[in-house]
Structure 1
């Protein structure tokens, strides 16, 4: 073949290959142009939206929680500013996770201690990735120093942000724990059900007391806003062009509790003893004091998670059960305080009168069949009438009264005094107690094969067969004092919005009409008053210038050698404005242990509160000596209370 022809064929092959390559490249560029056109023109809106979404984040705005105040406007629970370190999992790439954890573990506090534990941090972040688009706290209530460190090292900590929050502060500490309650983070297992009610992961919720009972009122409603963020998830501020949902601030609650009286009760109750105090206004059911001992400082639950867990372990394992509100859930035999109900049942049924003396005088014991039932006084009280029997708390007299009146009539009047069920107070955890009697006893002990016998009415008549709560006892003594009606006890007095406008005012709710014979009212009041005068067992609760009526009790205790000390009182006895019940576990006699506690509180009430001073002036319009004496008696207590409140 000629050489020229070969050159032509070779050139033609090269041209063909070039055309193929040019065609392929042209097709590629055509496809690229079409793709760019599709992305930039056809899908322009979509990608603009995605870009904006990557640069913004929906932020849930938690409203300030409403405050809780006492009846005089003293703040019992309020909010304080706090900072938390949080993680936004979707802002951390998988390959960055390990480095972020290592960088966090390098942070030291002012003392040189490592702030984050690597194992704990790994667990928290791993858990956070289960909810990639929700922020999760990894450190709570941190110092400004730590906030500054995190902010300064934002480049090395993608997805790690600082959130400003509020935490609860409780001014009375442990003194009002069981009334006010505390808050805690929503448990994992409860989150799904609460999410439907507007709660978010990591939110705090009321766990006990008023914080729990009125959670929906004081929580408010969360708001929403979109904020601009950089590539590391750090906030650059709200986006003005997108509408926001403003949060609704929680309402404030004003309680019936008197903070100063609450402190007096706390100071009067020995730290080493367990028990409860309840003081209420029998005219309307307002609870002025509710104390349970031992107690817990609710501010513990506002600490950082590491500190809180240490404190919680000690609380949870405490055999004295400080979380229990003994004022509404502690059940005790009422002891001799119940003799007042037995006396009322005897008078109203006509089985006994003020002057009734039984055939068997008290010589320290009483025989029924083969049983010998003893009086607390081995020497006996001799032959006594009803008033002396109440004053000296003679068991033998009430043994015979119980036999004569019977369990059904006594329980009828127990029911009139509100002892047949829960009082209905507006707080979670109340127990109802239990009234003995033939029907109730046979039902309760049917599995054991026990049957009611006549001899058991002896125990019922002196208050050793039934169990009641301190709040039931306070309701009982209030009813025995006014002899007209019982009101349901309550704690929430008023609700106001953030501007101070009244939203809700609690109206007293009549629980029962008592309907006591007019002839028996002065007899019962004389019996009540006799306990606090000479030879009475409750003299240590007396208030100069005010006629106090009450009854001491020593309740049988199956769990210890000493009896429970119980005391109930109302004042003034002829028209009570306060009724109080004190129960002290394993403490001995009510007159020597429980009555002095009540005395401190009653004396402070009549010497220092506006209502108490008004009553005192009306009762003693011209006698200044009594006022000076009362003022002198409360002086040490007043000094301690004033010193505490001066800080606020």
Structure 2
């Protein structure tokens, strides 16, 4: 039989060979693509599955008072973390599995797990998966669930972490501050890159925020190989590993004994107490009421119900009244008026004004009352200060023009921040001709406004810290020291002590003769026979000070007292304001007196 060699068979064979060649070429191309062009991508994906960079968090530094007593520390908790690679699509599945046992909103978990997929370089600069905290302070049922289903949840781990614990709850809460989770938009800021990952904690207020870089320390890292169930197999010997460096302990200037006393004296009343050393600016007491328990923020997150309670409280517990509460200074302002009047030569020690105090003063069509309706009679400047005679200051202020008067007050430190080293301070307010023209029109106000300003009422607003700093500077010979909370910082083993930077001071533009008269006036207001601040007296100690009773359009008057001791060699100045507390001499002066007594008994 003759073989069939028709052209159709040869053509089919040729096409078959071409197809085989093309298929082989496609396979070779795919291998080249996978093995060469995409080698790095798949190597990284393989590394994601078998290599993990385990961050070893640095213990946060302890916060202590000036004597080393702990006020903020760390306590162990269980934290649930997720380690997902860049190619993982398990976020939704895991959120569904965990949500019920965690008692956490499913959508919140899904977002948190998605954050774990988005990887930034870990502390060693490698783009390896970095654990992200999805549930802090996990309860035992969730811990048990994760451990029980470890083989089904290789991306999920339970680790022992630290949460912040504040030993005294709300005590000095505004000064100490609290922690919160770092925000996504903050992760890319220069101070956060390479130091923080999603879900990690950062100082949000007070000293926790201001001294974050001292307290934070530096995280360590271990690069390990894991099996298909996410269990650690071995430490990779050729990788770079780093031990964590604990944060530094921060010693505050606060005196815990005085802080506890001041807190108890203000109790559940709204207001603030500030005490500091006028010589060096050390803040000894910083109380703001109402307050809140710092431990609500201890794990870096606060429940929605707790936050709503704080946020919606009409008494605004989040407001740090000691440094950001703005109040009319009332008769404490008479020290400012006296300083400017003596310094400018408007008055001297023997000055008397034509109108004696009969309980008030007629100015134009208006009768301005003195706080003592029975009248003080004829007074000189020191007696007027001792007895807090409003009528004397009504007449004194008429020798000033508004803008030069307010300019002089600015030179003494008002309407500007003191510079205390925690965030949130307010600068206070002083009015001007321009301000009154803008708010009332050029013809809508008169010089009668000055009479209110002369006794610290009206549009003058100060913080308790400002008024305390000014009184302290007067008693300290005119030296105004910047208030501060940081005493020193030291490593946990007390090596490498970092001392507080040199405290800046400036001198008030007041002559020594003026300062001497002001000191005498302060002393007479407490120790004098008719002094309004007699309830702040301390046996054996020369105490100076000034009462104040600030008008309050929303209720009873606010009670003020500022005291400094001992006159001549001051060690402590304390300012107290009690909102709706009535008369300063009856309410605030005894509080300051108790603080001063404890200070001198202790020292």
Which category of TM-score, normalised to the shorter sequence, fits these structures? 0.7 to 0.9
Which whole-Å deviations, capped at 9, do the CAs of 1:519-556 have from their partners, x for residues lacking one?
x4443223212222343221221111111100100112
Q: Residue 381 of structure 2 is aligned with which of 383, 386, 401?
A: 386
Counterpart Cα distance in 2 of 1:382 and 1:48:
94
Counterpart Cα distance in 2 of 1:160 and 1:270:
46
List runs of 5+ in structure 2 lacking aligned partners: 5-9, 121-128
The Cα shift of 1:255 comes to: 1.5
Match of 2:134 in 1: 138
Match of 1:425 in 2: 420
Contact 1:407 1:460 in 2 (8 A): no
Contact 1:253 1:496 in 2 (8 A): yes
Match of 1:335 in 2: 330
Q: Residue 80 of structure 2 is aligned with which of 50, 72, 85?
A: 85
SS, match of residue 280 in structure 2: coil
Which whole-Å deviations, capped at 9, do the CAs of 1:130-160 have from their partners, x for residues lacking one?
6695543332112456434422320122321
Counterpart Cα distance in 2 of 1:444 and 1:199:
49
Structure 1 residue 488 corresponds to structure 2 residue 485:
no
- Map 1:616-631 → 2, pairs under 5 A: none
SS, match of residue 195 in structure 2: coil
Higher helix share: 1
CA RMSD of aligned residues (A): 3.5
Counterpart Cα distance in 2 of 1:48 and 1:433:
61
Q: Residue 342 of structure 2 is aligned with which of 338, 347, 367?
A: 347
Contact 2:181 2:200 in 1 (8 A): yes
Q: Residue 525 of structure 1 is aligned with which of 515, 519, 535?
A: 519
Counterpart Cα distance in 2 of 1:161 and 1:373:
72
Match of 1:535 in 2: 530
Range 137-146 or range 56-65, more displaced: 137-146
The Cα shift of 1:93 comes to: 6.2
Structure 1 residue 264 corresponds to structure 2 residue 261:
yes
Counterpart Cα distance in 2 of 1:41 and 1:474:
73
The Cα shift of 1:101 comes to: 4.7
Seen in structure 2, the aligned counterparts of structure 1 residues 353 and 197 have a Cα distance that, compared at 3 Å, is farther
Structure 1 residue 605 corresponds to structure 2 residue 599:
yes
Contact 2:251 2:488 in 1 (8 A): yes
The Cα shift of 1:59 comes to: 2.7
- Map 1:485-564 → 2, pairs under 5 A: 485-500=479-494, 501-518=496-513, 520-533=514-527, 534-558=529-553, 560-564=554-558
Q: Residue 377 of structure 1 is aligned with which of 347, 351, 372?
A: 372
Match of 1:254 in 2: 251
Seen in structure 2, the aligned counterparts of structure 1 residues 100 and 487 have a Cα distance that, compared at 3 Å, is closer
Counterpart Cα distance in 1 of 2:411 and 2:560:
21
Match of 1:165 in 2: 161
- Map 1:148-547 → 2, pairs under 5 A: 148-193=144-189, 195-196=192-193, 198-236=195-233, 238-271=235-268, 273-303=269-299, 305=301, 308-407=303-402, 410-411=405-406, 413-436=408-431, 440-443=432-435, 445-450=437-442, 453-465=446-458, 466-500=460-494, 501-518=496-513, 520-533=514-527, 534-547=529-542
Range 176-185 or range 75-84, more displaced: 75-84
The Cα shift of 1:48 comes to: 7.8
Contact 1:417 1:475 in 2 (8 A): no
The Cα shift of 1:33 comes to: 12
SS, match of residue 172 in structure 2: helix
Range 49-58 or range 280-289, more displaced: 49-58
Contact 1:69 1:255 in 2 (8 A): yes
What is the number of residues matched between the two proteins? Answer: 581
Contact 2:403 2:433 in 1 (8 A): no
The Cα shift of 1:124 comes to: 4.3
SS, match of residue 512 in structure 2: coil
Contact 1:142 1:304 in 2 (8 A): no
Which whole-Å deviations, capped at 9, do the CAs of 1:378-410 have from their partners, x for residues lacking one?
121111222221122111111112223554665
The Cα shift of 1:42 comes to: 9.2
Counterpart Cα distance in 2 of 1:525 and 1:295:
35
Which whole-Å deviations, capped at 9, do the CAs of 1:578-620 have from their partners, x for residues lacking one?
1111122222211112112212211111112xxxx3xxxxxxx
Seen in structure 2, the aligned counterparts of structure 1 residues 507 and 172 have a Cα distance that, compared at 3 Å, is farther
Counterpart Cα distance in 2 of 1:325 and 1:42:
62
Counterpart Cα distance in 1 of 2:104 and 2:466:
50
Match of 1:621 in 2: none
Counterpart Cα distance in 1 of 2:166 and 2:506:
32
Q: Which one has the largest radius of gyration?
A: 1
Contact 1:479 1:514 in 2 (8 A): no
SS, match of residue 446 in structure 1: helix
The Cα shift of 1:377 comes to: 1.4
Range 492-501 or range 388-397, more displaced: 492-501
Contact 1:549 1:571 in 2 (8 A): yes
List runs of 5+ in structure 1 lacking aligned partners: 11-15, 108-113, 614-648
Which whole-Å deviations, capped at 9, do the CAs of 1:402-435 have from their partners, x for residues lacking one?
2235546654653453224211111111111122
Counterpart Cα distance in 2 of 1:104 and 1:91:
21
SS, match of residue 602 in structure 1: helix
SS, match of residue 241 in structure 1: coil
- Map 1:1-12 → 2, pairs under 5 A: none
Counterpart Cα distance in 1 of 2:364 and 2:392:
17
Counterpart Cα distance in 1 of 2:451 and 2:442:
17
- Map 1:10-159 → 2, pairs under 5 A: 51-90=46-85, 94=89, 100-101=94-95, 103-104=97-98, 107=101, 115-116=103-104, 118=106, 120-122=108-110, 124-125=112-113, 128-129=116-117, 133-143=129-139, 146-159=142-155
Counterpart Cα distance in 2 of 1:347 and 1:546:
27
Contact 1:282 1:577 in 2 (8 A): yes
The Cα shift of 1:333 comes to: 0.9
The Cα shift of 1:360 comes to: 0.8
